[in-house]
Structure 1
Amino acid sequence: MNTKPLRILIHGASGRMGQAVLRLAADVPAHAPAPAPAPWQVVAAVTRRAPTQRVVDGVPHFAAAELAAAPEFDVAIDFSLPEGFDPVLALCAERGRALVSGTTGLDADQRGALEAAARVIPLLWASNFSVGVAVLNELVERAACALPGWDCDIVESHHVHKKDAPSGTALTLGESARQGGAQPRYASLRAGDIVGEHLVQFAGQGERVELVHRATNRDIFARGALQAASRLHGRGPGLYTMRGLLFGAG
């Protein structure tokens, strides 16, 4: 039995999500039998600015400009900004390593580069790594298919610091709605410290169906990204989805 930990590079390690992944990657699952080794080993944490310390809690830190000098890794987990996405994608393609990315706000050229890279490496881009949101996407597609002609509105709420609107999760939910035949409309709210709320509403004559997901802790996204990294490692090239990795869907 191979107990070798999965070597992970965290790109965007100074952000909220990067910090959560860094913290959770160091934890041994509570259900693991003692003395079980940690399933992941963070071999590099990459930040946008030069780190004030080169090694923190045993993890080497690198500035984004030093990305090419990062040690060998099995999977990169990326929660950065669109302007930082291209170098980590290129590094993974060059080294033949898997990439799990949750960076939102990518433009058309970056989407194209992502699809091209998926022809040579296993790659998962997701707007949301929550297992609950993966289920919500399935439910939205089914509801849209079952409710032809109904109005479909997606309302998303996030903290005041979130830049992109609609959120990547809202757009992904909208694509699920389109797959079912609906034409979604979007509304965005930015208030306080809301982690993430997504409401998908289908309205007909005299009745309304609402599907909602509320996140109260970013750990759910970090935990989902680590789970996705474990499932993606060792697979062949391709563009994977959370639904596919977690539930065996397409």
Structure 2
Amino acid sequence: MRVAVIGASGRMGKNLIMAISDMQGVSLGAAILKPGSSLLGADAGEIAGIGKLGVPAVASLEDCIDDFDVLIDFTTPALTLQNAAFCAQYAKAIVVGTTGLNDDEKVQLEGFAKQSPVVFAPNMSVGVNLTLKLLATAAEILGDDYDVEIVEAHHRHKVDSPSGTALRMGEVVADALGRDLKECAVYGREGQIGPRTQKEIGFETIRAGDVVGEHSVWFATEGERIEIVHKASSRMTFAKGAVRAASWLEGKQAGMYDMQDVLNLK
């Protein structure tokens, strides 16, 4: 599979290029930068600091339309939808790691998935997706007797809150407990709020320094507390997962997939 990386000069883009270079069965087909970037025309491997790969950076998907089979996108919701529309039009697969999409934007993405295959997940880490499986199992066993709280921490530059991963964790737990997260979620607490209700799922957010990503889910009741924790120390864990998803898409039919599909966890 020939993989295109958009935002190739960013922190995530560089990690994706390195991950593609390290994985068998995939190769870097294209690297896209912002129009006007001073790095346009530079070798993508040199941009990532791993030496020449023979792939010059270009300014748009149109400039490399014949050079890739699947696009990996960790950008912004608006740009991701533009890129997904392009991939749908030209029968390209896409792996979307962008967070912060609202419900309407997710519906649009699902529409594009009717024309070409899409892997969409709020977190591409293999470990996080295993954690989601563990959370579903824990919630099913523990039931309504345990309070559920989700604490997440990320670097100071993250713009969405709670994180897409934290929200997905909440959705998984709520589904296992037969609840609707939109009805039971509580985001932060302040003032005289009274005692927590039995079925609410609480979210607490930390933004500080260069934290790559940490998530902790508490199941607490009288006498004990169970914590299921995932900590990411490098963006490479997300990059490796995204490249694994790109490789998995080879030969797949149009449709909306997630990392649970990629990892055969369903």
TM-score with structure 1 setting the length: 0.88
- Which one of 12, 15, 21 corresponds to residue 20 of structure 1? 15
1:131 aligns with 2:126: yes
Contact 2:89 2:115 in 1 (8 A): no
Question: % of aligned pairs identical?
Answer: 42
- Which one of 49, 55, 58 corresponds to residue 42 of structure 2? 55
**Consecutive unaligned residues in structure 2, runs of 5 or more:** 44-51, 180-199
Residue of structure 2 in register with 1:175 after alignment = 171
- Name the aligned partner's letter for residue 14 of structure 1: S
Residue of structure 2 in register with 1:186 after alignment = 203
- Which one of 213, 232, 235 corresponds to residue 218 of structure 1? 235
> Where do residues 1-250 of structure 1 align in structure 2 (5 Å cutoff)?
6-27=1-22, 29=23, 39-52=25-38, 53-56=40-43, 57=52, 58-63=54-59, 66-72=60-66, 73-149=68-144, 150-181=146-177, 183-246=200-263, 248-250=264-266
CA distance in structure 2 between the aligned counterparts of 1:204 and 1:49, rounded to whole angstroms? 54
Cα root mean square deviation, aligned: 1.5
Deviations 1:84-143 (A, max 9, x none): 112210111001111101001112222111111111211111111111111100111111
Deviations 1:193-249 (A, max 9, x none): 111100000111221110000111111110111111101121111111211211x23
The more displaced of 165-174 and 49-58 is 49-58
CA distance in structure 1 between the aligned counterparts of 2:126 and 2:171, rounded to whole angstroms? 18
Residue of structure 2 in register with 1:35 after alignment = none
Aligned residues: 233
Residue of structure 2 in register with 1:33 after alignment = none
Give the CA deviation at 1:79. 0.8
Give the CA deviation at 1:49. 4.3
Deviations 1:40-81 (A, max 9, x none): 222221223423231313222223xx3323232111100111
Residue of structure 2 in register with 1:34 after alignment = none
Give the CA deviation at 1:158. 0.7
- Greater Cα radius of gyration, structure 1 or 2: 2
CA distance in structure 2 between the aligned counterparts of 1:50 and 1:42, rounded to whole angstroms? 22
